[in-house]
Structure 1
Amino acid sequence: MHLKRTIGAALVGLSLSAGAAFAQEITFAVVGPMTGQLANIGDQFRKGAEAAVKDINEKGGVMGRQVKLSVEDDVCDPKQAVSVANRIVANGINFIDGHACSGSSIPASAVYAESGALMMSPASSNPVLTDDAAAKGWPTIMRLYTRDDAQGAFIGPWIAKKYAGKNVVVLHDKSAYGQGVADAVRSTMGAAGLKEILYEGINAGEKDYSALVTKLKELKADVVYFGGYHPEAGLILRQSAEQNFKFQLIMPDSIASPEFWQIAGPAGEGTMFVFPSDPQSKPEAKEAVEKIKAGGFVPEGFTLFSYAVIQAFAQGIERAGSDDPAKVAAALKNGEPIDTVVGKVTFDEKGDLKNASYDINQWSNGKYAPIPQ
C-alpha cells in the first residue's frame, strides 16, 4: 500500500513537472499561402519563421522559454484567412507572423484585434491595414514591411521622369494589394506630370490574356505598371512575346521569386520591380542567409521579413518583460530600434515601419539585381 502511494505520488510529480515544462513554451503562428498559386510566398514565410525560431531556441529561447511554431495556410483567400485567424485565437496563440496578401490580412486583423492577439505582417502593404486599426483603436495590428503609399511615392515620380512623353498603362488585378499599389503609383505618377493612357483591372487566375495584349499593342504601350502577382505577370509577358510585342513591365514587390521567371521565361527579360533595399545584402543578415542557403533554400522575397517578425516578437516580449500582446506592442512602439536581419527597425504609433528605403530591381537571364537610380 505504501509502495503504491509512493508510485502514485511520483507519477503525479512527473505529471506536474511535464505540465510546468509545457507551460514554459510559447507558440508563434506563421500564416500565409502555403498552397495555391502563391505558395512560393508561403514557402518564404515558413522558411524565414522556422530559421528564426531555430536560432532563438538555440540561444536559450525567449525569457528562458522555448518557442514553438504553428504553420497555417490561408491560400491568400479572405474567407479562409478569417477562418484560420479564428482557429489561431481559439488555440490560445497570441503572436501571428502574417498574413501575406492584404486582402487576407485586413479581414483577419479584426479577429486578432478583438481577441487582443498581436499580428505583424511581413508582406501586406495596403495602408488600410494599419490605418483602420489605428482609427479603431486596435494597438496590436502591426507590419514589418513597407506601405503602398510609400512605394508609390518612390516609383511613381521615377516613372514620370524616366518615361516622360511615353505611353504608360496602369493595370491591376482588383485585389486589395494589386489595386492598392497600382492606385498609389498612378496618383504619384500623375502628380509628377505623367498621365496614363489606360487604367484597367484584369481578372486574376485566367490563362488567356491575348485580348489584353492586343489592346496594349493597339495603344502602342511603351510601359505597363501592373499591380498584381507573378502568375498573371508571367503569362501576360509570354503571350505578348507570342504577338511579337514588347513593352517595359514594371511591378511591385510580388515578383521577387524564381517562379516569375519559370512562367515568363525569356519574355521576362528586363522586367523591373520595386522591393525594399535588399535584406540579403545587409551585414545583419549574413549568418541567417548562410544557414538558410545551407538548408537548400534561397532567402529571397519575404523570407527575411518573416524571420524579422519572429525576432521582433522575441525582443518585444523581452523588452516588455511579459507575453501580454498589448504590452509587447507598446514596447515595440516605444521608439527604440529592434535588431533584426533586415537591419534596425523602429515602428510608429500605427505600427508601421519608419524610414523605409527601396531598390529598383531588374530581371535578366533568370536572376534579378538592383539597378542604379
Structure 2
Amino acid sequence: LWNTFRTCGRDDQQGGVAGKYLADKFADAKIAIIDDKTPYGQGLAEETKKAYNAAGKKEVVREGVNTGDKDFSALIAKMKEAGVSIIYWGGLHTEAGLIIRQAKDQGLKATLVSGDGIVSNELASIAGDAVEGTLNTFGPDPTLIPENKALVEKFKAAGFNPEAYTLYSYAAVQLIAEGIKAAGSADDAEAVAKALHEKGPFKTVLGEIAFDAKGDPKLPGYVMYEWKKGPDGKYSYFQQGS
C-alpha cells in the first residue's frame, strides 16, 4: 500500500530469528510450538516453525489455543507427556502469563520463548516469579541508545516508563514530520509518502530509518531478551548482553 509504513519488522523476519535461535541454543531440547490462532500469533509461530524445521529440527507438539482461554491444564499435560522443555508461544502476554504460571504449578519445567507480543510488564503480574528466565525476541532496545537518555528521563519524570513500542510510536511521529518536511507539504499525502520512500534515511529515536518499496524499514535485526529482576526488584525483560 502506497501510504503504509512501519517502524518494526514483520513476522517472517522475527520468526526467522526465533527459529534459528531455538535450533542453535536448544539443539537437543524437545520443543512445543503453540499459538493463539490469531493472524499475528499463528503467523509468528508458523514462521518460527518454518525456520526451526529448515535447520533440521522437528517440534514434538504443535497446538493452537483460543484467545481468552484461562485453563491450559490439558495442553500442559500433553507437553509433560511429550517431555517438552521449551515452549515457543505465538501470541500475547495475557495467555503467555497463564501458561507460564500453570506450567510451573503443574510441574512442567519448561522455558517459554516468544515474540514481541509479550513485551509488557503485565506478563510478570500474571506469571509471578515463574516468569524468570522467559525469553522473547524484539528489536534492539532503543532506551539503551545514549542519544535517547534525556528523552527516556523525560518520560519517566512524567510518570511513564517508555517500554515496549513507546519509542517505536515516537519514531513513527518523527518520520511523519520528516516526510512532511522533505515533501515541503503537509497537505499532499502522496508527496509525503514518496518522500519517505525516496529521501531517507531519516534520523529517529530508533536510529536512522529508510524504507523499501513496501514501506518496511531497513532496521537492525531482532535480538533476544530475558526476563529477570531489575535493580528495582521487579521482573522485566532485558536485552541479552546489556
TM-score scaled by length of structure 1: 0.62
1:211-248, CA deviations, whole angstroms, 9 ceiling, x for partnerless residues?
Answer: 11111111110111000011100001111111122101
Separation in 2, partners of 1:335, 1:154: 29
The AA in structure 2 aligned to 1:362 is E
Is 1:195 paired with 2:64?
A: no
* Structure 2 residue corresponding to 1:321, chosen from 171, 184, 190: 184
How many correspondences in the alignment? 236
Is 1:362 paired with 2:222?
A: no
Separation in 1, partners of 2:43, 2:147: 31
- More deviation in 307-316 or 356-365? 356-365
**Which residue of the partner structure matches residue 232 of structure 2?**
none
Deviation at 1:209, TM superposition (A): 1.1
Structure 2 unpaired stretches of 5+: 230-234
* Structure 2 residue corresponding to 1:299, chosen from 162, 185, 188: 162
Separation in 2, partners of 1:234, 1:222: 17
Residue aligned with 2:5, SS: strand
1:293-334, CA deviations, whole angstroms, 9 ceiling, x for partnerless residues?
Answer: 110111000000000101000110010011211111110111
Is 1:344 paired with 2:213?
A: no
Residue aligned with 1:152, SS: helix
Separation in 2, partners of 1:357, 1:236: 28
Is 1:332 paired with 2:196?
A: yes
**Which residue of the partner structure matches residue 279 of structure 1?**
142
C-alpha contact (below 8 Å) 2:182/2:199 kept by paired residues: no
Deviation at 1:263, TM superposition (A): 0.3
- Which structure carries more relative contact order (alpha carbon 8 Å, separation 6+)? 2
**Which residue of the partner structure matches residue 85 of structure 2?**
222
- More deviation in 224-233 or 199-208? 199-208
Separation in 1, partners of 2:121, 2:32: 25
Separation in 2, partners of 1:245, 1:222: 8
Of Structure 1 and Structure 2, which has the larger fraction of its residues in helix? 1
Separation in 1, partners of 2:198, 2:18: 30
Separation in 2, partners of 1:153, 1:356: 14
Separation in 1, partners of 2:162, 2:22: 29
Residue aligned with 1:141, SS: coil
TM-score scaled by length of structure 2: 0.94
Separation in 2, partners of 1:223, 1:193: 17
Residue aligned with 1:245, SS: coil
> How much identity, in percent, do the aligned residues show?
44
Residue aligned with 2:154, SS: helix
* Structure 1 residue corresponding to 2:104, chosen from 220, 225, 241: 241
**Which residue of the partner structure matches residue 258 of structure 1?**
121
Deviation at 1:192, TM superposition (A): 0.9
C-alpha contact (below 8 Å) 1:148/1:184 kept by paired residues: yes
C-alpha contact (below 8 Å) 2:32/2:61 kept by paired residues: yes
C-alpha contact (below 8 Å) 2:18/2:48 kept by paired residues: yes
Separation in 2, partners of 1:283, 1:337: 20
C-alpha contact (below 8 Å) 2:88/2:113 kept by paired residues: yes
Separation in 2, partners of 1:350, 1:336: 14
C-alpha contact (below 8 Å) 2:97/2:124 kept by paired residues: yes
C-alpha contact (below 8 Å) 1:335/1:347 kept by paired residues: no
Deviation at 1:368, TM superposition (A): 2.0
C-alpha contact (below 8 Å) 1:284/1:343 kept by paired residues: no
The AA in structure 2 aligned to 1:349 is A
**Which residue of the partner structure matches residue 270 of structure 1?**
133
Is 1:163 paired with 2:23?
A: no
C-alpha contact (below 8 Å) 1:172/1:179 kept by paired residues: yes
**Which residue of the partner structure matches residue 209 of structure 1?**
72
The AA in structure 1 aligned to 2:240 is I
Separation in 2, partners of 1:242, 1:222: 15
1:109-166, CA deviations, whole angstroms, 9 ceiling, x for partnerless residues?
Answer: xxxxxxxxxxxxxxxxxxxxxxxxxxxxx31011111111111222211211111122
C-alpha contact (below 8 Å) 1:143/1:353 kept by paired residues: yes
**Which residue of the partner structure matches residue 174 of structure 2?**
311
Aligned-residue Cα RMSD (Å) equals 1.4
Residue aligned with 1:206, SS: coil
1:87-127, CA deviations, whole angstroms, 9 ceiling, x for partnerless residues?
Answer: xxxxxxxxxxxxxxxxxxxxxxxxxxxxxxxxxxxxxxxxx
The AA in structure 1 aligned to 2:82 is L
C-alpha contact (below 8 Å) 1:284/1:342 kept by paired residues: no
Deviation at 1:264, TM superposition (A): 0.3
Structure 1 unpaired stretches of 5+: 1-137
